[in-house]
Structure 1
């Protein structure tokens, strides 16, 4: 697992705005929908989301910078003297499957508060060298037990949280409304996204995450909003970009064209002698911004020849070519 700063391509002193911009740029580049031929696309996108989740949360970022969690957001074991993994077991206390870290009444880790006194040394002599460790595990897991050895749902740890990236159509982003979310188990739920929701926004579905292996409450599912690819518009920050087909006669003589927007078509006046590549700005027809307004729609003229061959137009072009020679 690479470190989050490397995944996002930002410096360790990067601002929250830098982190947000890097995530939005890479999310478009690495999204599985845009990399269907890459078998590792899903893993790369998941790594990006994990890095963003850590660095966009000041508390989690601080824990990572202090070495309290790793690049996956899992706790690192720090209580054993010397800073090693402790007790010869790779992964013990590392936050992996079954990993944990327990604190004593004064906030110290269990390995700091546990010690062998004379009595415990005597017990080791009678019961074997691992007796003291067995006492530790018995105390740790005893509070999770109820009748018949089954885990108590009141005390057992909850299941893991999951993250689901959901493509949201741009029209739904502007208007807000229901979006269906497919859960890992095969079921679907319908959520309502707010109007003007930003890309990368997270919505919590309580209890829709992984089941607890100890019989506790299930984890939560976090729905991450991703702007779905649109057949006409390209998102550029809070602006939208559009290639606008301009008939040759309108480019030469001028005219009016109907231009599509997310809120319906509008009229645009095309001046005479409009060059190919000229961009027209339709103010307020873009994506919602953080100030309650909207960005702009940037329509770039693309000169379009007639669908059918026009002999008169061809003859005119021959005359102009000959005149220019």
Structure 2
């Protein structure tokens, strides 16, 4: 007994033409001999089912019981129709039933006749490239070795982030029979920096200051991703205060403005507290003790 074409395609009997076409596309992509070996028989059955259900006249004939799941007539009166369609199919190949357009969509090539080998784009290749933190912020040119042994100067754009994937068009595996080559997908890994951290396009850094700089105020040098700058620390600055350096962060591709640098100051005491310093603060505490808000 011939298979039920509806069951073969996995659709209901009241499925729309688009549902049937979509189901065939999915199965054909999975089972095509150039993609999946060992499924030739099932691919033929799926193609045969679509030959019936993808043609409005033949679908109506099947639903009326005039033809079976192979398209053979159940009654003598239908034999002439079957023969005429079979002759057309023999001359026109899969295009008679719209297969050419479907295979063209699936395999991104010209419409393919029955028995023709699909021309497939080459496979993409993936690998990882490590860059320094400052290179990721400012951008850099890195020479990379491709899987085939060749080299390429890769432009790492300013503001690239850890885990971002750069696509090198046509640098993957060669396509079959002269088809387009695949792409090389380069995943960026950014090495941590001993001073800087990144938050979106802002740069975070912690800068130590002395107790006298915190009390009296001072100008201190602060590192940024583009060089050292002077930061004015006002008199009476507490440890943990954050200063914003406008435009000293990362300028990502496509952004008109760079982020900022956020500088957190941290008061660091001298390694040795001498008698003079201890005596001074002892006297000062007796006269000027204060509550910093501890709870």
What TM-score does the superposition give when structure 2 sets the normalisation length?
0.55
Query: For the Cα contact (< 8 Å) 1:91–1:99, is it kept in 2?
Result: no
Give the corresponding residue for 1:299: 263
Alignment partner, residue 277 of structure 1: 240
Residue 51 of structure 2: aligned partner = 113
The answer on 1:245 being equivalent to 2:199 is: no
Once the two structures are TM-superposed, the CA of residue 173 in structure 1 deviates from its matched residue by 3.7
- 8 Å Cα contact 1:80/1:112 also seen in 2: no
Aligned length: 208
Gaps of 5+ in 2: 1-5, 12-22, 38-45, 53-68, 74-93, 95-111, 291-295
Tell me what 2:56 maps to.
none
- How far apart in 1 are the matches of 2:134 and 2:195? 12
1:170 and 1:262 in contact (8 A); partners too: no
Query: Which of 1 and 2 has higher RCO (CA within 8 Å, sep 6+)?
Result: 2
Structure 1: runs of 5+ lacking an equivalent: 1-77, 101-108, 120-135, 145-154
The within-5 A match list for 1:36-185 is 80-82=8-10, 93=30, 98-99=35-36, 110=47, 111-113=49-51, 116-118=70-72, 142-144=115-117, 156-184=119-147
Q: Distance in 1 between matches of 2:281 and 2:174?
A: 72
Residue 278 of structure 2 is matched in structure 1 by 314
SS at match of 1:265: strand
Which residue is 1:49 aligned to?
A: none
What's the CA shift for 1:142? 4.1
Superposed counterparts of 1:193-208, under 5 Å: 193-197=156-160, 202-208=165-171
Give the Cα separation in 1 of the matches to 2:120 and 2:224: 49
Determine the C-alpha separation between the residues in 2 that align with 1:295 and 1:270.
21
Rg larger for = 2
Q: Are the equivalent residues in 1 in contact too, given 2:159–2:201 (CA < 8 A)?
A: no
After TM superposition, give the deviation of residue 216 of structure 1 in Å.
Answer: 5.8
**Cα distance, 1:309 vs structure 2:** 4.5
CA-atom RMSD in angstroms: 4.3
* Pair 1:313–1:292, CA change in 2 (3 A): same
Provide the rounded CA distance (Å) in 1 between the counterparts of 2:7 and 2:178: 28
Correspondence 1:229 to 2:167:
no
CA contact (8 A) 1:164 1:223 kept: yes
